[in-house]
Amino acid sequence: MIIRTGKEVRFLDEMDRQRYLAHDPEFSRIIRYWLFDAMPDSRTRPNHRVLDGGIAPMDWPGWFTCAPPLGEGCRCTLVGITGRRREALLGTGHYFDLTAGIPEGAGLDPGYVRPAHSIYNDPVR
Ligand SMILES: [Zn+2]
């Protein structure tokens, strides 16, 4: 469910936010990229951490394997950014273009299946 009051949009959970940003035409005209954001602590699994700082277009097919949740209790998120922001972030050297190659070991936890309502469920399955 999405709660929208005036100019402010609130989301009840991460899936709401993803669904909204990916499908709202007004947002998607400006916010064209996802930035993968992993929690910077020791609980973050290696296959999640390697994606931290990765940027790709929202319609990049690789998100089907790289978008959170990547496992039970995954705390990773996607942040919607503009093309200008993407360029600035890539210029710092601390971020990377996911479309140039998915980091080795990245992806879903072994055996993990995303919740049925995730927009990044593999359409083939
Ligand atoms: Zn995660």
Whether residue 114 is contained in a domain is answered as: no
Select the more confidently predicted residue: 52 or 24.
52
Could you tell me the distance, in angstroms and rounded to a whole number, from the CA of residue 36 to the centre of ligand 1?
10
pLDDT recorded at residue 122: 52
- pLDDT above 70 coverage of the chain, percent: 76
Whether residue 19 is contained in a domain is answered as: no
Could you tell me the distance, in angstroms and rounded to a whole number, from the CA of residue 69 to the centre of ligand 1?
6
Average pLDDT for 94-114: 95
Whether residue 106 is contained in a domain is answered as: no
Whether residue 79 is contained in a domain is answered as: yes
- Distance set, CA 59 to CA 36, 47, 62, 72, 93 (Å): 14, 22, 9, 24, 24
Could you tell me the distance, in angstroms and rounded to a whole number, from the CA of residue 28 to the centre of ligand 1?
24
Range of the domain at 44: 30-99
- Distance set, CA 113 to CA 20, 72, 103, 116 (Å): 22, 9, 20, 8
For the chain, the domain total comes to 1
CA 125 – CA 121 distance, rounded (Å) = 8
For 33-83, how does the pLDDT look when each residue is reduced to its tens digit (9 = 90+)?
999 999 999 999 999 999 999 999 988 989 888 998 899 999 998 888 899
CA 64 – CA 119 distance, rounded (Å) = 9
Ion ligand 1: residues, CB within 5 A, are 48, 70, 74, 76
* Residue 101 pLDDT class (50, 70, 90 cuts): very high
Instruction: Give the global pTM.
Output: 0.79
Whether residue 1 is contained in a domain is answered as: no
Whether residue 118 is contained in a domain is answered as: no
Could you tell me the distance, in angstroms and rounded to a whole number, from the CA of residue 5 to the centre of ligand 1?
30
pLDDT recorded at residue 9: 56
